[in-house]
Structure 1
Amino acid sequence: MIPIHISPGQYVLSTEPIPFERRSYGRPRVKIAVYTIALNEAANAERWANSAVDADYRIVADTGSTDDTVERLTAAGVTVYRIAVRPWRFDDARNAAMALIPPDVDVCCTMDMDRFLEPGWRPKLEAVWAPETTALYCQTVYRSSVDDPAPLRSWPAKNFHHRWRYRFRRPVHEALVFSGETEVAASSSDIVMVEVQDLAKPTRSSYLPLMEVAHREDPDDSQICFWLGRDLMWANQHERAVPLLERYLALPTSKWAEERSEAMRYIARMQRQERLTWLDKARMEAPHRREIWLDLAEEFHGRADWLNLFWAATNGIEKTHRTGSYLDDANCWGFRLYDLGAIASWRLNAMDRAVEWGRAALELDTRNQRLKDNLDFFIRRKEELRASA
Structure 2
Amino acid sequence: MKIVVYAICKDEVQFVDRWMDSMGEADRVVVLDTGSTDGTVEQLRARGAEVTVETVMPWRFDTARNRSLALVPEDTDICVCTDLDEVFHPGWRALLEAAWLPGTGQATYRYTWSFRPDGGEGVVFWYEKVHARKGYRWVHPVHEVLAWTGDGTPGPTVRVDGMQLDHHPDPAKSRAQYLPLLELSVAEAPEDDRNMHYLGREYLFHQRWDDCIRTLEHHLSMPTATWKDERAASMRYIARAYRRKGEDRTARDWYLRAIAEAPHLREGYVELAYLLYELGEWDGVLYLTGCALAITERPRTYICEAEPWGSLPHDLRAIAFSRTGRDVLALAEARHALALEPDNARLRGNVTLLEERTGYAG
TM-superposed CA distance for 1:286, in Å, is 2.4
Structure 2 Cα separation of the partners of residues 132 and 285 of structure 1? 37
Greater mean deviation of Cα atoms: 152-161 or 336-345: 336-345
Structure 2 Cα separation of the partners of residues 144 and 80 of structure 1? 30
Structure 2 counterpart of 1:59: 30
Percent of matched pairs sharing the same residue: 34
Work out whether residues 112 and 125 of structure 2, in 8 Å CA contact, stay in contact via their aligned partners in 1. Answer: yes
Work out whether residues 361 and 371 of structure 1, in 8 Å CA contact, stay in contact via their aligned partners in 2. Answer: no
Distance 1:128 1:308, change over 3 A: closer
TM-superposed CA distance for 1:321, in Å, is 4.8
SS in 1 for 2:177: helix
Work out whether residues 51 and 118 of structure 1, in 8 Å CA contact, stay in contact via their aligned partners in 2. Answer: yes
Instruction: After superposition, give the CA deviation of every residue in 1:34-61 in whole Å (9 maximum; x if it has no partner).
Output: 1111111212222322333343332111
2:12 to 41, 46, 69: 41
Moved over 6 A (4+): none
Q: TM-score, normalised by structure 2?
A: 0.83
Structure 1 counterpart of 2:91: 120
Work out whether residues 231 and 261 of structure 2, in 8 Å CA contact, stay in contact via their aligned partners in 1. Answer: yes
Residues 1:164 and 2:140 are matched in the alignment: no
Which AA in structure 2 matches 1:47?
A: R
Structure 1 Cα separation of the partners of residues 315 and 91 of structure 2? 45
Greater mean deviation of Cα atoms: 159-168 or 327-336: 327-336
Structure 2 counterpart of 1:15: none
Distance 1:190 1:339, change over 3 A: closer
Structure 1 Cα separation of the partners of residues 212 and 38 of structure 2? 37
5+ residue gaps, structure 1, are 1-29, 381-389
Residues 1:102 and 2:73 are matched in the alignment: yes
Structure 1 counterpart of 2:251: 275
Greater mean deviation of Cα atoms: 166-175 or 292-301: 292-301
Q: RMSD of aligned C-alpha atoms? A: 3.1
Structure 2 Cα separation of the partners of residues 192 and 360 of structure 1? 29
Structure 2 Cα separation of the partners of residues 279 and 114 of structure 1? 34
Which AA in structure 2 matches 1:122?
A: R
Which AA in structure 2 matches 1:286?
A: A
Instruction: After superposition, give the CA deviation of every residue in 1:2-61 in whole Å (9 maximum; x if it has no partner).
Output: xxxxxxxxxxxxxxxxxxxxxxxxxxxx33221111111212222322333343332111
TM-superposed CA distance for 1:177, in Å, is 0.6
Work out whether residues 91 and 174 of structure 1, in 8 Å CA contact, stay in contact via their aligned partners in 2. Answer: yes
Work out whether residues 172 and 207 of structure 1, in 8 Å CA contact, stay in contact via their aligned partners in 2. Answer: yes
Structure 2 counterpart of 1:387: none
Work out whether residues 7 and 30 of structure 2, in 8 Å CA contact, stay in contact via their aligned partners in 1. Answer: yes
Instruction: After superposition, give the CA deviation of every residue in 1:119-153 in whole Å (9 maximum; x if it has no partner).
Output: 333343333333422322233334649x96x5434
TM-superposed CA distance for 1:67, in Å, is 0.9
Structure 1 counterpart of 2:235: 264
Equivalences, count: 349
Work out whether residues 205 and 231 of structure 1, in 8 Å CA contact, stay in contact via their aligned partners in 2. Answer: no
Structure 2 Cα separation of the partners of residues 80 and 343 of structure 1? 55
Which AA in structure 1 matches 2:258?
A: A
Structure 1 Cα separation of the partners of residues 349 and 86 of structure 2? 41
Structure 1 counterpart of 2:110: 139
Residues 1:307 and 2:283 are matched in the alignment: yes
Structure 2 counterpart of 1:3: none
Structure 2 Cα separation of the partners of residues 191 and 353 of structure 1? 37
Work out whether residues 126 and 301 of structure 2, in 8 Å CA contact, stay in contact via their aligned partners in 1. Answer: no
Which AA in structure 1 matches 2:302?
A: Y
Which AA in structure 2 matches 1:314?
A: G
Residues 1:179 and 2:149 are matched in the alignment: yes
Greater mean deviation of Cα atoms: 62-71 or 365-374: 365-374
Residues 1:297 and 2:273 are matched in the alignment: yes
Residues 1:234 and 2:205 are matched in the alignment: yes
Distance 1:34 1:191, change over 3 A: farther
2:225 to 238, 242, 254: 254
Structure 2 Cα separation of the partners of residues 340 and 117 of structure 1? 35
Distance 1:35 1:343, change over 3 A: closer
Which AA in structure 1 matches 2:62?
A: D
Structure 1 counterpart of 2:260: 284
Distance 1:377 1:244, change over 3 A: farther
Distance 1:375 1:128, change over 3 A: closer
Residues 1:211 and 2:182 are matched in the alignment: yes
Structure 2 counterpart of 1:19: none
Structure 2 counterpart of 1:73: 44
Instruction: After superposition, give the CA deviation of every residue in 1:212-236 in whole Å (9 maximum; x if it has no partner).
Output: 1001001121221111111101211
SS in 2 for 1:204: coil
TM-superposed CA distance for 1:343, in Å, is 5.0
TM-superposed CA distance for 1:168, in Å, is 0.5
Whose radius of gyration is greater, 1 or 2?
1
Which AA in structure 1 matches 2:203?
A: L
